[in-house]
Each structure stands twice: as structure tokens, then as C-alpha cells.
Amino acid sequence: MREAISVAEALEMVLEAARPLGAETVPSADALGRVLTASVVSARTLPPDDNSAMDGYAVRAADLADYPVELPVVFDVPAGGRAPRPLASGEAARILTGAPLPPGADAVVRQEDAERMEDRVRIPGGSPPRAFVCRAGENVRRAGEDVASGETALEAGCRLGPAHLGLLASLGRSSVAVHARPLVALLSGGDELVEPDGDVAGGRIVSSNSYTLAAACREVGAETRYLGIARDEPVDLERRLRAGLRSDALVTSAGVSVGDHDHVRGVLQKLGCRLLCFGVRMKPGYPFVFGRFEPGPGPLVFGLPGNPVSALVTFEQFVRPALLAMAGHATLHRPRIAVTLAETLTKKAGRLHFVRVRLERHGHEVRARSTGNQSSGVLRSMTEAQGLLIFPAEATRLAAGAPAEVQLLDEAFLASTGPGL
Ligand code: AMP
Ligand code: MG
């Protein structure tokens, strides 16, 4: 087991172990946010025919050399219908958007550029500078311009968003193969903890981590299974941990440091978990444990510190990227943005600090200011933070006005507009 490793080393160790889960087939309509395990090859041509991009008149462009032009309207092609016969030279057909172009026609004159007169249509043509020219292909959507039959429409590894689900529907694919969603078993531990409806008299506190961590799992598409609150004694702890062994990740909070009542590490080892690291040189979140069952099967094990901020910050750094990797995602990390410090920060050398910060735009610059009290017990500071500022391990002072990097927790900040942007 490695102790007191850097954040980068711990992340590398976690990502080395977090492999994409196998495939499952799900209804396409339910596949939002999932990642394809195999490319989708189209068995269809989309659109299937050359068709009209506008409501108007199908024509042969060669018939429209000199304006005005008057043509007989010989038939109608409704949306969802077909032409009864090819269009001959000197003829026009009424056509609606999306309807297949009649054979022989090669262009569509928009309704707005034509005048209908009973069974004829007149195309005035206009005069300079608004001269009207109708070329072959005008207002026509070509067969296969979206997807050709046999073409790879979506690549393996692709994350499915709304447009992807629409395309799958158009291709007639009612189900798709995607990476399974990781199942995360969550355990809280500590004699002081109660559920939210419990009695908080006598120094008891609500196990907020159960809620924070379950929500953080769901935010990345993982499923959760709550194992409850374990008492600070090995028998109850072991019973509950056992119940979490059939999961992809087992996430505990509290009970992993060196206190007399911290049994988590010992019980995990007894159950066959190999602990790979204990202690990461970061603040908050030093007492982080990572382990795995070797040889498997068994979940990846993340022992997070109990303090609410430490639990969430270590989740952000290690568990979140691991869950995304298991679900097959290529993008594992929060966006990082360059900021300017609005105030001077100091610390001792040795640990990387994740400073909870609020962000403000000033012209093209984003300024970061600490949310205030950085105690790892103050969960409210996380609700107020839009990001975590990276105060490197060996640095001791970041001066006001200096550049720094922030992991953006509130990704909507990127979309917010401000003066000068
Ligand atoms: P421990 O790691 O057991 O020493 O816990 C560190 C601190 O985190 C203590 O103040 C605990 O009360 C608190 N804590 C532990 N587990 C939770 C939890 N599930 N929810 C909220 N706070 C917790
Ligand atoms: Mg405890």
C-alpha cells in the first residue's frame, strides 16, 4: 500500500483500475447520456429520396431560362405521397416540404416566388437587383445527404444526446448497445450519525454524506444502492460492507483515519480487498483510501473521509472520473478554466489545496474569491462554490492578481454572460 501520495498519483492509480463496463442493450428512447459500445451502421438511406426543402412547385430548371415563365400544374405531390408519373419538359407539379421530387424534376420554386393561377403557375422572375434564378438542385434535399446506407452513422464511444436519439429513431433502431451504468454501493459510518428524520439530541448529526454522495453518483448516470449507517464496530460494519460487494464501486465515508473507532480499513482487508493507497497529499481530503479485489470479482473500493466537504471533494477528484470511465465516457474531468485571484491566499507547502471559490466575470477575466471559511465541515461552502481553485502542493502563496486554475463545479457558469463577453 502506498501512503501520502500526490493527487496525480492517486488519480492515475484509480483510472488504471476503472475499466469500462460491458455492454447492455437498452431501448434507444432510454439511452440519453449513455455511451455506445459499438458503432451504429445505417441500414437506411436518409432521406430515402431526393425531396423538396420547401412548399412550392417542382420544375425542370432548364424550363426556367427566361422570365416570366408560365407552366401547367399537372399534379400534386403531397407530404408522404409520390408523384403519379414523371414530370415532362414544360410542366410543373405542386409539391410540399419533404415530399419526394417527381422523376424528371430537378428543382423546386418556392411558393413565395410563384403566382398560382388555377391549373397554371406563373414565375415572374423579378428584376435586378432582385433577379430570380432557379438552378438545378435549388430547394432540393438529396437522397442520402444525411446518412447513406452502409455508412457508420454513430461511432462506438459516442455519448448519446438528444440529436443522437433522434437519428437512431430515423434509422429505425429501437434499441442500442451501451456501456452498463455503474452500480455504486454507499455506506456511511459513525455512531454519531442518524437519518434525516432521526433525533439529533445529544450531539448526533444527520448523515448528510449519504445524500451528497448518492446525488453526485446520479449526476454522472450511476445507479446507487444505500447500505445505511454502520455503527463504529467491526461486526455491523462487516455485515453492511458484505452487502455492498456485488456492485461496481463501494463508496464509504468516515472511519478511515487512525482513530480508535476507525475500523473500515481493517474490515475491508478481512473481506479480501487489497488496499492500494492510504492518504493523499491534498486538503481537504487527506485520509482517502483506494482498494480493489484482486483477483476479482469485486468492486473498486473508495474510502472517503467523513467530513462533508472532504467526502465531496475526494468524490470529485477520484470517484467521479472512475464512474465516468466505467460508463465508457471519454471526458472524465470537469472543465478547468483560467482565473485571476481576487485575493491573496497562503498555506504551508506539502499538500495541494482545493479552495472553494466563487467566480465573477470582469470583462474577459474571471476572478476567483474564496467562499470564506474553508473548514472541511462547512458543507454550505460547497453550495456557494462554483469551482475548486487549485493551490499547488508546493506553493505557499498565491498573490491577488495572480493567475490560477479552477475546476468548474458549476458548468453553467461557462454559459453565463457578463460584461464584455
Ligand atoms: P470520521 O472520519 O469518522 O472521523 O468523521 C469525520 C467527521 O465527519 C466527523 O465530524 C463526523 O461526524 C463527520 N461525518 C462522518 N460521516 C458523516 C456523514 N455520513 N455525514 C455527515 N458528516 C459525517
Ligand atoms: Mg467517525
The residue behind cell 429505425 is 172
Which residue spans within 164-261 are E strands per DSSP? 175-179, 183-189, 193-194, 205-206, 223-230, 249-253
Does residue 306's CB lie within 6 angstroms of at least one atom of ligand 1? Answer: yes
Please report the sign of the dihedral spanned by the C-alpha atoms of residue 85, residue 88, residue 94, residue 95.
Answer: positive
Q: What is the pTM of this model?
A: 0.92
The stretches in the chain having pLDDT less than 70 are 417-421
Give the distance (Å) from ligand 1 centre to CA of residue 267: 18
Burial class (CB in 10 A: 0-12, 13-18, 19+), 222: buried
The grid cell for 159 is 455519448
355-413 tens-digit pLDDT: 999 999 998 999 999 999 999 999 999 999 999 999 999 999 999 999 999 999 998 89
* CB-side neighbour CA atoms (13 Å) of 369: 9
Pairing label, strands 273-280, 2-5 = parallel
The number of the ligand 1 atom at minimal distance from the alpha carbon of 261 is: 3
Q: Does ligand 1 lie within 6 Å of residue 193's CB atom?
A: yes
CA separation for the pair 354, 406 (Å, rounded): 9
Beta bridge partners of 189: 230
State the ligand closest to the CA atom of 306: 1
> Cα(314)–Cα(308) distance, rounded to whole angstroms?
10
**Burial zone of 15 (CB within 10 Å; 0-12 exposed, 13-18 middle, 19+ buried):** middle
Distance 266 CA to ligand 1 centre (A): 18
Q: Which of 205, 252, 286 to mutate to test the pocket of ligand 1 (most atoms within 8 A of CB)?
A: 205
Task: Decide whether any atom of ligand 1 lies within 6 Å of the 45 Cβ.
Answer: no
Assess whether the C-beta atom of 166 lies below 6 angstroms from ligand 1: no
Q: Which ligand is nearest to the CA of 304?
A: 1
- The sign of the torsion formed by the CA atoms of 52, 56, 59, 63 equals negative
Question: What's residue 419's pLDDT?
Answer: 54
Q: Is the CB of 209 within 6 Å of ligand 1? A: yes
Residue 126 Cβ inside 6 Å of ligand 1? The answer reads: no
- Ligand 1 pocket mutation, candidates 204, 206, 209, 256, criterion most atoms within 8 A of CB: 209
305 within ligand 1 shell (Cβ under 6 A): yes
Beta carbon of 254 within 6 Å of any ligand 1 atom: yes
Long-range contacts of 83-87 (CB under 8 A, 24+ apart): 83/58, 87/58, 87/59, 87/60
* Cell numbers describing residue 420: 464584455
| Ligand 1 pocket member 188 (CB < 6 A) | yes
Return the bridge partners of 12, or none.
none
Q: Could you tell me the distance, in angstroms and rounded to a whole number, from the CA of residue 139 to the centre of ligand 2?
A: 70
The response to whether residue 190 sits with its C-beta less than 6 Å from ligand 1 reads yes
CB burial readout 83-104, b (16+ within 10 A) else e: beeebeeebbbbbbebbbbbeb
Measured from the CB, is residue 192 less than 6 Å from ligand 1?
yes
Q: Which of 233, 253, 376, 378 most suits a substitution to test ligand 1, by most atoms within 8 Å of the C-beta?
A: 253
Cα gap 310→285, rounded to integer Å: 4
3-state SS, residue 283: strand
Whose alpha carbon is nearest atom 6 of ligand 1?
Answer: 306
* Long-range contacts at 92-98 (CB < 8 A, ≥ 24 apart): 92/57, 92/58, 92/59, 92/121, 93/57, 93/58, 94/57, 94/58, 95/52, 95/55, 95/56, 95/57, 95/58, 96/52, 96/55, 97/52, 97/53, 97/54, 97/55, 98/47, 98/51, 98/52
CA distance 53 to 380: 54
- Closest ligand (CA of 258): 1
Does ligand 1 lie within 6 Å of residue 259's CB atom? yes
Least distant ligand from the CA of 287: 1
What separation in Å is there between the alpha carbon of 420 and the centre of ligand 2?
A: 49
Residues 253-299: tens digit of each pLDDT:
997 777 777 889 999 999 999 999 999 999 999 999 999 998 878 99
Nearest atom of ligand 1 to the alpha carbon of 305 = 2
* Cβ 285 under 6 angstroms from ligand 1: no
Q: How far apart are CA 20 and CA 128, in angstroms?
A: 62
Ligand 1, atom 16, lies closest to the CA of 306
